[in-house]
Amino acid sequence: MVIKYLIEKEFKQMFRNKFIPKLIIAFPFIALIILPMAANMEVKNVNLVVIDNDHSSFSQQITQRLAANPSMTLYGMCQTYEQALHLVEESKVDVIVIIKNDLEKELSIAMALNGQVSLGKDDAKIFVAANSVNSVKGTMGAMYVVNIISNFLTEQQHNLQQTQSPLEISSFYAFNPRLEYKYFMVPALMVMILTIICGFLPALNIVGEKESGNIEQINVTPVKRFTFILSKLIPYWIVGTIVISIGFFVAWLIYGIVPLGNFLTIYVLSWLFILCVSGMGLLISNYFNTYQKAMFIMFFLLMILLLMSGMFTPFSSMPVWGQYIGRLSPLKYYIESMRAIYLKGSTFLDLMPQICSLITILLVLNTWAIFSYHKKK
């Protein structure tokens, strides 16, 4: 079997490379350990400044309540809005809370009357302004502040009236009750690892052989192109499977994250996805002859694929045209399935739409790759 010799060669080259074996081991660890801990969307350390015009025990209680929240840091008190705004401009403060005078008095009356308090409007007694340069921190921070204050007000109301409020809102987050970012991100990071190891590394390897001229030597041998390409892909398929297995292990070891669904589902989905990204990589290697061009197009693709696939932002909140583009990305379906298997314990039957989409994409990409490869000069 010719392919045995070729695969042997690939493995020798892979492990002789100074960089690749280290990358393969380090990648899942770095991606799974450092990223979910450091880079997350939870908002912490919201710095806020309070302008208290009321100076009542009530306003002080609100201020204390805000300062006591673990996500908040009370930067200080200010006399005027201008002063506070200045702090925002210096990036020292993210949220300004303004408590107007007569809060306590009017509130007591209002509560006694109908139990309603308005927040956030111009004529309101409490005004919250957020710095939106970092829009996530700003808006999330402001939301936290509003939540804390309204919780406080509700409590006060209960204390005053000793009655149940007519309407109580309580939320329950299904599947990820504590809304932990890492439960959400860990399955998604596996996707990125597979895209790079099974999609981009073999493509770069083929382009590298083109650049060094070795491929010319292979082309004059009776080795079939299909065999040659398979010999490039198989080692990376094996490595990719090992790396995600390490990934599952690391996720369990560090975060105790274990999929609710079974591993067979995970591996079948992973393999469908691996075939998709391999096809994508082959297409790139067919159309680009130098490392530089191939790398550039890969960065470009990876950015678009990641941002449009719902990895970082909710897919459904993209505009419709964006969703159409996102639907072309195999990453979307794999990320969805991985999250579903991990957090909801979804089965093959539940994931039928994703499986069908992945199969369609993999057929299209690989057929295209084969045809573009056979086009002779």
Residues that bind another protein in the complex, under the rule CB under 8 A: 2, 4-6, 8-9, 12-13, 16-17, 212-214, 216-224, 376-377
The smaller minimum CB distance to another protein, of residues 13 and 135, is found at: 13
Considering Cα of 227, then 229, then 230, then 231, what sign does the dihedral take?
positive
Query: Whole-number minimum distance, CB 3 to another protein, in Å?
Result: 10
CA angle 222, 228, 232 (to 5 degrees): 160
Query: Exposed, middle or buried: residue 181 (CB in 10 Å: 0-12, 13-18, 19+)?
Result: middle
3-state SS of 157-219 is HHHHHCCCCCCCCCCCCCCCCCCCHHHHHHHHHHHHHHHHHHHHHHHHHHHHHHHHCHHHHHH
Query: Whole-number minimum distance, CB 364 to another protein, in Å?
Result: 28
The smaller minimum CB distance to another protein, of residues 8 and 102, is found at: 8
Q: 82 phi and psi, to 5 degrees?
A: -60, -45
Return the H-helix or E-strand segment holding 254: none
CA angle 59, 105, 85 (to 5 degrees): 40
Token pair, residue 298, equals 């890969």
Long-range Cβ contacts of 295-302 (<8 Å, 24+ apart): 295/204, 298/200, 298/203, 298/204, 302/195, 302/196, 302/200
Query: Whole-number minimum distance, CB 220 to another protein, in Å?
Result: 4
Return the H-helix or E-strand segment holding 51: strand 46-52
Give the span between the Cα atoms of 57 and 101, in whole angstroms.
12
Query: Whole-number minimum distance, CB 205 to another protein, in Å?
Result: 12
Query: Whole-number minimum distance, CB 282 to another protein, in Å?
Result: 20
Measured between its terminal Cα atoms, the distance across the chain in Å is 29
Return the H-helix or E-strand segment holding 43: none
Query: Whole-number minimum distance, CB 367 to another protein, in Å?
Result: 23
Query: Whole-number minimum distance, CB 337 to another protein, in Å?
Result: 38
Q: Are 102 and 125 in contact (CB under 8 A)?
A: yes
CA angle 157, 158, 159 (to 5 degrees): 90
The per-residue DSSP string of 298-352 comes to HHHHHHHHHHHTTSSS-GGGS-HHHHHHHHT-HHHHHHHHHHIIIII---TTTTH
Token pair, residue 329, equals 């990305």
Q: 238 phi and psi, to 5 degrees?
A: -65, -50
